[in-house]
Amino acid sequence: MPGRSQRKFVAPLNQPPLADFKVGVDNVIFSVDTAQNRLLVLLVMRQQEPFLNHWSLPGTLVRQGESLEDAAYRILSEKIRAKNLYLEQLYTFGGPQRDPREASDSYGVRYLSVSYFALVRFEEAELIADRMTGIAWYPVKQVPQLAFDHNEILAYGHRRLRNKLEYSPVAFEVLPEMFTLNDLYQLYTTVLGENFSDYSNFRARLLKLGFLCDTGIKVSRGAGRPASLYRFDAEAFAPFKDKPLVFI
Amino acid sequence: MPGRSQRKFVAPLNQPPLADFKVGVDNVIFSVDTAQNRLLVLLVMRQQEPFLNHWSLPGTLVRQGESLEDAAYRILSEKIRAKNLYLEQLYTFGGPQRDPREASDSYGVRYLSVSYFALVRFEEAELIADRMTGIAWYPVKQVPQLAFDHNEILAYGHRRLRNKLEYSPVAFEVLPEMFTLNDLYQLYTTVLGENFSDYSNFRARLLKLGFLCDTGIKVSRGAGRPASLYRFDAEAFAPFKDKPLVFI
DNA sequence: GCAAAAGTGTTTAGAGTACACCCATGT
DNA sequence: ACATGGGTGTACTCTAAACACTTTTGC
């Protein structure tokens, strides 16, 4: 690497120049179709090269004056109208050659992707189908080959979702205001798999914790005894906040 | 935002231009001084503006052709010689105005920091004191005001370290090949605090899991009965890999 | 009445906790 | 011998897991 010289206080001697980056934000947006017990992820059809006409995670490049999180929310609001959602940063993928544009296009510009993970209520999330934009909820078990390294990002997001469910109350951000304990249980089983807990034990443990309050309202779903609607009490949950509590 | 026009397939109409980024990598490098029971973090004195002569996390800007992880390892190898280490990505901090250079310098270039978290063996980690570079292990309880948002990054890293210890075998990456159960216990107490577990219970639980093998070798540390040296058996640990096992 | 869904209770095995106590060494 | 740190065992509590059972609805 010797033989190159630069200005003294800008960069040390004999070192390759700094990379210039464009920064993208890609969102892994999950929702749970409680009716069909399926975990869904939002995919969009790319309208431009590279990977024209491939499915991909919804993403965008960060603009001037915009924070990473702003960009993540911007994508979300361009694709869906959702009242309640949970969003957090996932991981940053930034190896060279992860984006084909690096090779052809421009002068050594690198593309880096900061991925975000989001969870929205399926029933309230209204997809914004701007003219001829392919956009759809896909069952995570049936996602096709995606653009870039998006399959990898999705897998990472899925793992994070499972962990989050186990020790944080994200589920309540994504259920309606009032829900039955079975709704909650279904949500957990669709994300975590069938064998995570017996319903009656799940029920007992959760009720004992005391942050679910019975509204007294009953709903009937076809045959069978009507179920109570419960509400998540954020205040009663507060003591468990940020504790290593595993409540499932 | 209307009134601006661009080429049709490069950027959509009427939108502010993309931000250009330099990407930095900052490392939160921990080690545990088992002799004095202190958790240490590696800090360096900045040799240049901004924040000249302030302590900061060791960091660097990513160069052309270099992956993020490469950059993280490069910093590490410039500062310390360590045989064994654990490294993983932490979080990406990227709001505008997080770096003073954004305002003065250049043309709207943004500085984004991808932080990495590392754990090294204190005894084997040899600091590389290149001429007049301030570099030192600081007890995390006594770190001063740092440059940029590095105090925040450090706090984040500290939280991650505590979590990691509880459900993954990082401790063994940072202990010598052979160690006494007391060494291990001290490591946990210095990171997690005094009240996480009684020694004898800690001991019993860990031995029952069966991935620590007694080498039979005894070491004497002053007065008292000599302790057995144990070795971490990675194969025996394998079944617990990636499971939600909390073994402390 | 009977099936289906909701909700309650009981039994048991094992984990977590708090200790008390024995063991081997240096001085 | 006795202080010091290493190591073992026990008794008690609490939770997790499995599953049997009761209640309330639709048909």
Q: If DSSP states are collapsed to H, E and C, what string results for chain B?
A: CCCCCCCCCCCCCCCCCECEEEEEEEEEEEEEECCCCEEEEEEEECCCCCCCCCEECCEEECECCCCHHHHHHHHHHHHEECCCEEEEEEEEECCCCCCHHHCCCCCCEEEEEEEEEEEECCCCCEECCCCCCCEEEEEHHHCCCCCCCHHHHHHHHHHHHHHHHHHCCCHHHHCCCEECHHHHHHHHHHHHCHHHCCHHHHHHHHHHHCCEEEEEEEECCCCCCCEEEEEECHHHHHHHCCCCCCCC
Nearest CB among B65, B69, B95 relative to A16 is that of B65
Q: Alpha carbon of B113 to those of A55, A88, A92, B75, B191: distances in Å?
A: 29, 17, 10, 14, 26
Rounded distance between C-alpha atoms, residue B76 and residue B74, angstroms: 5
For range B192-214, the mean pLDDT:
90
A221 touches strand D (CB under 7 A): no
Residues A113 and A140 in one domain: yes
Rounded distance between C-alpha atoms, residue B227 and residue B217, angstroms: 8
Residues B101 and B215 in one domain: no
CA atom of B208 to C1′ atom of D1, Å? 36
Residues 154-173 of A with CB under 8 A from B: 163, 166
Residues B41 and B90 in one domain: yes
Closest nucleotide to A204, Cα to C1': C8
Which residue is closest to B88 within chain A, CA to CA?
A91
Domain boundary among A117, A143, A166: A166
Residues A173 and A229 in one domain: yes
Cβ-contact B160, B142 below 8 angstroms: no
Q: Do A21 and B20 touch (CB under 8 A)?
A: yes
Provide the pLDDT for residue A2.
38
Question: Which amino acid is it at B59?
Answer: G
- DSSP β-ladder status, B80-81 and B59-61: unpaired
- Residue A89 sits at the chain B interface (C-beta within 8 Å): yes
List all nucleotides in chain D with at least one atom under 7 A from a protein Cβ.
3-10, 16-20, 23-27
Q: Looking at the C1' of nucleotide C4, which residue has the nearest alpha carbon? A: A224
CA atom of B210 to C1′ atom of C9, Å? 37
Give yes or no for residue B1 having a pLDDT over 60. Answer: no
Window 215-244 of chain B: CB closer than 7 A to strand C: 218, 220, 222-226
Look at the block and give the residue holding tokens 């929205």: A120
- DSSP β-ladder status, B109-120 and B20-33: parallel
Residue A112 covered by a domain = yes
Identify which has the larger pLDDT, A121 or B10.
A121
SS3 A139: strand
Rounded distance between C-alpha atoms, residue B131 and residue A49, angstroms: 49
Provide the pLDDT for residue B223.
87
Cβ-contact B169, B232 below 8 angstroms: yes
Q: Grade residue A146 by pLDDT with cuts at 50, 70 and 90.
A: very high
Residue A7 covered by a domain = no
CATH of the domain at A228: 1.10.10.10
Which residue is closest to B110 within chain A, CA to CA?
A64
**pLDDT tens by residue, B174-189:** 888 999 999 999 999 9
Give yes or no for residue B76 having a pLDDT over 70. Answer: yes
Give yes or no for residue A107 having a pLDDT over 80. Answer: no
Residue A139 covered by a domain = yes
SS3 A155: helix
CA distance B16 to chain A (A): 6
Q: Do B66 and A19 touch (CB under 8 A)?
A: yes
Averaged confidence pLDDT in chain A: 85
Rounded distance between C-alpha atoms, residue A116 and residue A82, angstroms: 16
Residues A79 and A186 in one domain: no
Which residue is closest to B244 within chain A, CA to CA?
A163
A65 touches strand D (CB under 7 A): no
Q: Grade residue A82 by pLDDT with cuts at 50, 70 and 90.
A: confident
Residue A218 covered by a domain = yes
Rounded distance between C-alpha atoms, residue A156 and residue A160, angstroms: 6
A244 touches strand D (CB under 7 A): no
Q: Looking at the C1' of nucleotide D27, which residue has the nearest alpha carbon? A: A223
Rounded distance between C-alpha atoms, residue A138 and residue A120, angstroms: 14
Provide the pLDDT for residue A187.
92
Please report, rounded to a whole number, the percentage of residues in chain B having pLDDT higher than 90: 53
Averaged confidence pLDDT in chain B: 85
**pLDDT tens by residue, B90-105:** 999 986 666 666 665 4
Residue A117 covered by a domain = yes
Q: Do A21 and B166 touch (CB under 8 A)?
A: no
Nearest CB among B18, B64, B69 relative to A17 is that of B64
Q: Grade residue A232 by pLDDT with cuts at 50, 70 and 90.
A: very high
Does an H or E element contain A124, and which? none
CATH of the domain at A141: 3.90.79.10
Residues A95 and A140 in one domain: yes
Residue B145 covered by a domain = yes
For range A65-84, the mean pLDDT:
91
Window 166-185 of chain B: CB closer than 7 A to strand D: 180-182
Rounded distance between C-alpha atoms, residue B237 and residue B139, angstroms: 31
For range A78-84, the mean pLDDT:
86
Residues B233 and B174 in one domain: yes
**pLDDT tens by residue, A187-229:** 999 998 878 889 999 999 999 999 999 999 999 988 899 999 9
Provide the pLDDT for residue A10.
44
Residues A144 and A71 in one domain: yes
Q: Grade residue A245 by pLDDT with cuts at 50, 70 and 90.
A: low
- Detail the DSSP E strand segments found in chain A: 20-33, 38-45, 55-56, 59-61, 80-81, 85-93, 109-120, 126-127, 135-139, 178-179, 212-219, 227-232
Q: Do B64 and A108 touch (CB under 8 A)?
A: yes
Give yes or no for residue B139 having a pLDDT over 50. Answer: yes
**pLDDT tens by residue, B41-52:** 999 999 887 889
Residues B186 and B101 in one domain: no
Provide the pLDDT for residue A141.
93
Residues B174 and B107 in one domain: no
Which residue is closest to B116 within chain A, CA to CA?
A92
For range A104-127, the mean pLDDT:
83
Identify which has the larger pLDDT, B130 or A17.
A17
> What is the extent of the structural domain holding B72?
21-166
Residues B232 and B154 in one domain: no
Does an H or E element contain A172, and which? helix A171-174
Cβ-contact A248, A197 below 8 angstroms: yes
Dig out the tokens for A80 from the structure: 């869906």
Residues B223 and B119 in one domain: no
Angle at the Cα of B15 from the Cα atoms of B9 and B20, rounded to 5 degrees: 85
Residue A4 covered by a domain = no
> What is the tally of structural domains in chain A?
2
Q: How many CB pairs under 8 A join A and B?
A: 106
For range B7-15, the mean pLDDT:
49
Residue A230 covered by a domain = yes
**pLDDT tens by residue, A3-45:** 333 333 444 556 778 889 999 999 999 998 877 888 999 999 9
Domain boundary among A121, A142, A166: A166
CB atoms within 10 A of CB B129: 11
Domain boundary among A102, A133, A166: A166
Provide the pLDDT for residue B245.
66
Please report, rounded to a whole number, the percentage of residues in chain A having pLDDT higher than 70: 86
